[in-house]
């Protein structure tokens, strides 16, 4: 058995659907087993479609609103992730800065050994840490409120 359809397959399909047969197509269908199968299958499928009960479909607005909500939720999940990363980074930076501030001698010695060319980095850091923390918090607030500020149409 070869898995090849007859060249008249699409014509048979159309004829079964429309009920319009030309004489030559009718003669061909009567003698071609492939086309007989196509015709039988088309009739069966037609019957299956016709047998489906009338069913009330959902209003498009319900689906539209659900999609908007799902999209918003998806975006919020991304924002949550960003906020978490932002929070973690600013937290780590803050802790590191705090550690350096609380142990100035240690930090001084550490900096003198590691980076002798940088003068009084602890002073720079001491003024920089609050700025860093405030910036981190501001970025987080922006990320979390962005969705409610820019409401999508």
Partner 1 sequence: MDEEVFRAFYERTNRALWLYIAGMVKDNELADDLFQESYIKVLQSRIEYKNEPQMKSYLYRTATNCMRDHWRKMKREREWFEAEGGEAAEVRNPIELRHDLQAAFSGLSLQQRSLLWLAYAEEYEHKEIADILMLKEKSVKVLLFRAKHKLIELAGKLGITREVTP
Helix 33-50 crosses helix 23-31 at what angle (to 10 degrees)? Answer: 100
Distance CA 89, CA 102 (A): 20
Query: Is residue 78 at the binding interface for partner 1, with CB under 8 A as the rule?
Result: no
- Residue 148: CB minimum distance to partner 1, A: 20
- What are the angstrom distances between the C-alpha of 14 and each of 10, 18, 24, 110? 6, 6, 14, 86
Site string for partner 1, 24-43 (x = CB under 8 A): -xx--xx-----xxxxxxxx
Contact pick of 7, 24, 64, 142 for partner 1 (by CB under 8 A): 64
**Ramachandran region, residue 103 (left: φ > 0; alpha: ψ -120 to 50; beta: rest):** beta
Nearer to partner 1, 52 or 127 (CB): 52
Chain residues in the site for partner 1 (CB under 8 A): 3-5, 13, 15-17, 21, 25-26, 29-30, 36-49, 51-52, 55, 57-58, 60, 62-64, 66-68, 70-71, 74
């Amino acid at each position: 058995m070869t898995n090849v359809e007859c060249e008249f397959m699409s014509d048979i399909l159309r004829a079964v659907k429309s009920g319009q047969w030309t004489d030559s197509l009718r003669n061909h269908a009567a003698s071609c087993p492939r086309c007989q199968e196509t015709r039988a299958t088309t009739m069966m499928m037609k019957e299956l479609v016709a047998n489906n009960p009338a069913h009330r479909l959902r209003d498009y607005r319900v689906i539209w609103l659900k999609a908007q909500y799902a999209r918003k939720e998806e975006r919020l999940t991304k924002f949550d992730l960003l906020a978490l990363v932002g929070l973690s980074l600013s937290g780590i930076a803050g802790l590191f800065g705090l550690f350096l501030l609380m142990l100035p001698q240690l930090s001084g010695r550490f900096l003198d050994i590691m980076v002798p060319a940088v003068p009084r980095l602890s002073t720079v850091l001491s003024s920089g840490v609050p700025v860093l923390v405030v910036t981190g918090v501001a970025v987080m607030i922006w990320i979390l409120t962005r969705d409610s500020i820019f409401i999508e149409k």
